[in-house]
C-alpha cells in the first residue's frame, strides 16, 4: 500500500454535525464537485452505511467503486476501505477523525492512502492526493458551515 497523506481543517460546528454530513452519503453529489452518484448498498442495523458505491468524475480521473465503512461508537472516527479493485484503484484506505475543540468548532483530520491501477510517479501521486484531500476538506467545511448557518 502507498504511503498515507494526512490533512486537517477546523470547521465551525460541533462534531456531531460534521459526522452527520460525512455520513449523509446520498447528498454528496450536492456538495462535492467530483461525485456524480452515490448509492448506499448495505447498512448496519443502526442505520449507518456499511457499503457505499460511488461514481466519480474528476476529469482525467473517472471511476466507479464501492467503499466499506466502519465507525467508532461515538462517530468520532469514520474509516473505509475499497471493497474490490476498480478500474482506476487497486486499493484505498481512508478515515476522518473528528475532534471537538471546546469552542464550538471541530478539527477534522483526513487520512487517505490510494494505490492506483495505473502507474504514477510518487511525486505526482502525492501532489494529486494533496489536491484531492484539500478540495474534499474545503467542500466539507463549506457544506457543514452552510447547514449550521441555516439551523
- Model confidence, pTM: 0.89
- Residue 1's pLDDT is 47
- Mean pLDDT of the region 66-74: 97
The whole-number pLDDT of residue 16 equals 95
Number of neighbouring beta carbons within 10 Å of residue 7: 16
The answer, yes or no, to whether residue 12 has pLDDT greater than 80, is: yes
Q: What pLDDT, on a 0 to 100 scale, did the predictor assign at position 58?
A: 76
Query: CATH homologous superfamily of domain 5-150?
Result: START domain (3.30.530.20)
Residues 90-109 have a mean pLDDT of: 96
Neighbours of 5 (CB within 10 A): 20
The pLDDT score that the predictor gives to residue 125 is 59
CA proximity to 40, closest of 12, 60, 68? 68
Amino acid at each position: 500500500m502507498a504511503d498515507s497523506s494526512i490533512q486537517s481543517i477546523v470547521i465551525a460546528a460541533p462534531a456531531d454535525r460534521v459526522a452527520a454530513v460525512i455520513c449523509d452519503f446520498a447528498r454528496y453529489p450536492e456538495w462535492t464537485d467530483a461525485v456524480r452518484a452515490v448509492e448506499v448498498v448495505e447498512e448496519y442495523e443502526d442505520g449507518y452505511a456499511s457499503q457505499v458505491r460511488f461514481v466519480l468524475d474528476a476529469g482525467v480521473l473517472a471511476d466507479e467503486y464501492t467503499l466499506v465503512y466502519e465507525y467508532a461508537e461515538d462517530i468520532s472516527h469514520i474509516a473505509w476501505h475499497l471493497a474490490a479493485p476498480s478500474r482506476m484503484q487497486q486499493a484505498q484506505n481512508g478515515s476522518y477523525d473528528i475532534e471537538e475543540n471546546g469552542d464550538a468548532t471541530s478539527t477534522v483530520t483526513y487520512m487517505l492512502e490510494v494505490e492506483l491501477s495505473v502507474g504514477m510517479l510518487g511525486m505526482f501521486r502525492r501532489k494529486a492526493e494533496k489536491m484531492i484531500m484539500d478540495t474534499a476538506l474545503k467542500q466539507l467545511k463549506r457544506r457543514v458551515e452552510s447547514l449550521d448557518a441555516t439551523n
